[in-house]
Chain A
Amino acid sequence: MFNTTKVYAHCDGPCGVYDPASARIAAEAVLSMTKKILDLKHPDKDTTQAHLAYHNTLSRYISIKEQEAQKVKDELLILWTDYFKPPHLEKYPNLHETFWKAAKLGSACKVEVSLEHAQELMDAVKDIHEIFWATKGKDVPWVTAS
């Protein structure tokens, strides 16, 4: 009905292309690696080959967990510092606390092999997913890969 012209009050080039999905994928990888590490059984056979295979697998799981937990922190930092603006904070006063806790959980998942903290990291990313899409006025369901 009303003919209007869009005028941009954007803050940065990538305005409009943010998405918490990348943090969710990385958090899922952290949870998955944590489960795999906890399920790993020490080899019964006392052979060099068995020990090598075990340590190689364990090292790879730990390495992936470390990388993906860092990726969660990186992705959250981008959302926190680049996407979210003062008007969002006004509507979601616990925004800083939510991100701070999520980042802390990312660190905890690097330091520990904790199923509890890995799940809490997923929950924290889900909270951010919900806030993010609410600010966009879109109903985007939380869907996980596994």
Chain B
Amino acid sequence: MNYILWLLKLRKRYTVTGHSMWPVLRDGQQVFGKKPKSVSSGDIVVARHPFNQSYIIKQIETISDTHVRLISLDQFAEDSRVYGELPRNTIIAKVCI
């Protein structure tokens, strides 16, 4: 289904680089993402990195009206424990698992 939606340009494809989301997501794995109309804690999302020109893939730990706290599944990885909460609008996609 996601593949068809991707052909219809209703999904984007992303390639995971790194191991911080193991065991849910593996290095090199491809995932589909959709527009984040509604997100909640536990969702895996793609977001803009707070100070690099890159995108990150993390899990929402907590979310408020304005900010979101993103965490990795590897407890020693760089995420909101390092750079703090991010503005909610940094989320660009919700990953379709």
**A interface residues, Cβ below 8 angstroms from B:** 2-13, 15, 85-88
Cβ–Cβ < 8 Å partners of A5 in chain B:
12-15, 46, 55
Judge whether B14 and A9 touch: CB under 8 Å.
no
Nearest-CB distance from B90 to chain A (Å)?
13
- Contacting residue for A7 out of B26, B56, B78, CB 8 A: B56
Main secondary structure of the interface of B (DSSP, over half): loop
Write 23 A-B pairs (CB below 8 A) sorted by A numbering: A2-B30, A4-B14, A5-B12, A5-B15, A5-B46, A6-B54, A6-B55, A7-B46, A7-B55, A7-B57, A8-B17, A8-B49, A8-B57, A9-B19, A9-B25, A9-B56, A10-B18, A11-B77, A12-B78, A85-B22, A86-B22, A87-B19, A87-B22
| A5-B12, A11-B77 given; A86·B56 CB < 8 A | no
Nearest-CB distance from A81 to chain B (Å)?
9
Give Cα A28–Cα B63 distance, bound, in whole angstroms.
53
Nearest-CB distance from B10 to chain A (Å)?
15
Interface size bracket, B side: 20 to 34
Give Cα A7–Cα B90 distance, bound, in whole angstroms.
13
Cβ–Cβ < 8 Å partners of A13 in chain B:
78
Give Cα A59–Cα B79 distance, bound, in whole angstroms.
48
Given pairs A8-B55, A10-B18, A11-B74, 17 additional interface contacts (CB within 8 A) = A2-B30, A4-B14, A5-B55, A6-B15, A6-B17, A7-B56, A8-B49, A9-B16, A9-B27, A10-B78, A11-B18, A11-B20, A12-B77, A15-B18, A86-B23, A87-B19, A87-B26
